[in-house]
Amino acid sequence: MGKKVLKINLITAIFAASFFNAQLFRTKDRMDNLEGFDNQKFSYGFYLAANNFDYKLVLDPKFGMDGQKSLVQTKGAYSFGAGLIGKFRLNENFDLRFEPGLQFVEREVFFDTQSNDQFAGGTPANAPFTPITLTDADKLRTVKSTYIDLPLLIEIHGDRWYNSRPYAAAGVNWMMNLQSNNKAADDNSQGLFRTTTSNFAWSAELGIQFYFSRFKLTPGFRGTFMMNDEMVSDNPSTPPYWSAAISSAKSRAFMFVLKFE
C-alpha cells in the first residue's frame, strides 16, 4: 500500500512539475506580444490617474501651536488626473519620459486658532489687532487646485519576462496651479486661501508593464513631493488666525496611474 501511495505521489509530482514548467517558465514556444515595441526610439501614449493630495505643514511655534497642540490640521481628498506620455529610448535599460498632464485637487485646512487672541496687544512680529470670534466658516478652508503637471522622469526597467517587466522611475516636476489666486487682493479674512502659481517637485514611481497584442498597459504607483512653500501670506492687516499660523505648506501626493501605450 505504501509503495502504491509513493508511486502515485511521484507521478503527481512529475505531472505538476511538467505542467508548471510548460505554463509558467517555458516560453520558447510562446509568441511575445509587441516584440519590437521597446526598440522604438520614440513612443507615445496617455495615462489616467487617481490621486490623493495633502499638505505637509510646518507650523509657526507661536501662532500655530498651543503648547504641544497643533492648531492647524489638513485633510486630503481623492481626485483624478490625466495626461499624455512621450518616451525616448536611451538604451536597453533606461528611458527618458515626459508626461504632461492635469491634476484636479481638493483639500481642507482647518484652523483652530481662536487662542491667538492672546497676541491682540501685538508682538515684535505682528501689529496689534482686534480679536474676532471665529465661526465654523472662518475655521475651514476648502482649497481647490488644478495643476498643470510637467514631470521629466528617468525610467529604469528590468529584463522582460514573457509579456511583463518591472520598472522604477524618478525625476523632477514643474507644477503650475491654475487656481492659486496668488494675485488676488482678498485673503483669508475674506475666506480666500492663496497659494503660489509656479511650483517645483520631485517624483518617484514603481510599477509593472504588461504587453498585450495591440498595446502596452502599465499600472504604477507614484509619489510627488513639492519642494517649495506654496502658501501666500495674508495681508499685513489680517489677524494672525490663518497664514501666520503656518511657516510652510508643501503638497505631497500619492497616485495610482494607469498608462496606455
What whole-number distance in Å separates Cα of residue 47 and Cα of residue 50?
10
Residue with cell 496668488: 182
pLDDT in tens, 103-135: 999 999 999 999 999 988 877 777 888 999 999
pTM given for the model: 0.81
Q: Is the pLDDT of residue 22 over 50?
A: no
The H-assigned helical ranges of the chain are 2-20, 136-139
pLDDT in tens, 158-169: 887 888 899 999
Three-state DSSP state, 235: coil
C-alpha cell at 216: 502596452
Give the C-alpha distances (Å, rounded to integers) separating 140 from 93, 134, 192, 204, 219. Answer: 48, 10, 11, 32, 35
pLDDT in tens, 49-91: 999 999 999 999 999 998 889 999 999 989 999 999 999 999 9
Classify the phi-psi angles of 122: left when phi > 0, otherwise alpha if psi is within -120 to 50, otherwise beta: left
pLDDT at residue 207, as a whole number? 95
* pLDDT band at residue 10 under the 50/70/90 scheme: very low
Domain boundaries defined on the chain: 38-260
- What b-and-e string marks burial along 215-246, b requiring 16 or more CB atoms within 10 Å of the CB? ebebebebebebeebbbbebeeebbbbbbbbb
Specify the amino acid at residue 93: N
CATH architecture of the domain 38-260 equals Beta Barrel (2.40)
What whole-number distance in Å separates Cα of residue 8 and Cα of residue 12?
6
pLDDT at residue 26, as a whole number? 44
* Cβ-contact 240, 71 below 8 angstroms: no
Specify the amino acid at residue 12: T
* Cβ-contact 51, 76 below 8 angstroms: no
What whole-number distance in Å separates Cα of residue 240 and Cα of residue 73?
16
DSSP state of 173: E
What whole-number distance in Å separates Cα of residue 238 and Cα of residue 188?
8
Q: For the beta carbon of residue 58, count every other beta carbon within 10 angstroms.
A: 12
